[in-house]
Amino acid sequence: MTLMPMTNTLKMATIDDAQPVSRTLARAFDDDPMMRWFFPDDSSREAQLGRYFTTLFTRQYAHHGVCERTASAAAFWVPPEGQAKAVPDAETIQELQNILGDRAPLFRDAVEAAATHTPEEIHWYLAVIGADPAARGQGHGAALLRSGLAKADTAGLPVYLESSKPSNLPFYEHFGFTVREEFRLPGGGPALWAMRREPRPPAGV
What Å distances lie between residue 74 and 19, 42, 204, CA to CA? Answer: 12, 23, 27
Task: Flag whether pLDDT at 203 surpasses 70.
Answer: no
SS3 string, 99-157, reads HHHHHHHHHHHHHHHHHCCCCCCCCEEEEEEEECHHHCCCCHHHHHHHHHHHHHHHHCC
Domain ranges of the chain: 11-197
Closest CA to 158 of 122, 201, 117, 116: 122
Distance CA 11, CA 136 (A): 18
Averaged over 82-93, what is the pLDDT?
85
Distance CA 194, CA 161 (A): 6
Distance CA 189, CA 37 (A): 7
DSSP-assigned states of every residue in 16-80: GGHHHHHHHHHHHTTT-HHHHHH---TTTHHHHHHHHHHHHIIIIIHHHSEEEE-SSEEEEEE-G
Distance CA 136, CA 130 (A): 10
Confidence at residue 3, expressed as pLDDT on a 0 to 100 scale: 45
Instruction: Select the more confidently predicted residue: 85 or 99.
Output: 99
Confidence at residue 1, expressed as pLDDT on a 0 to 100 scale: 39
The rounded mean pLDDT for the chain is 92
Confidence at residue 204, expressed as pLDDT on a 0 to 100 scale: 58
> What residue type is assigned to position 78 of the chain?
V
Binned at pLDDT 50, 70 and 90, residue 191 comes out as very high
Confidence at residue 8, expressed as pLDDT on a 0 to 100 scale: 74
Task: Flag whether pLDDT at 205 surpasses 60.
Answer: no
- Of the listed ranges 82-86, 100-104, 186-190, the least confidently predicted one is 82-86
- Indicate the CATH number for domain 11-197: 3.40.630.30
Instruction: Select the more confidently predicted residue: 47 or 203.
Output: 47
Task: Flag whether pLDDT at 4 surpasses 50.
Answer: no
pLDDT digits (tens, 9 = 90+) for 146-189: 999 999 999 999 999 999 999 999 999 999 999 999 999 999 99
Distance CA 122, CA 159 (A): 9
Q: Decide if 165 contacts 63 (C-beta within 8 A).
A: no
Q: Decide if 201 contacts 188 (C-beta within 8 A).
A: no
pLDDT digits (tens, 9 = 90+) for 111-148: 899 989 999 999 999 999 999 999 888 999 999 999 99
Confidence at residue 7, expressed as pLDDT on a 0 to 100 scale: 62
Binned at pLDDT 50, 70 and 90, residue 89 comes out as confident
Instruction: Select the more confidently predicted residue: 115 or 28.
Output: 28
Whole-prediction pTM: 0.92
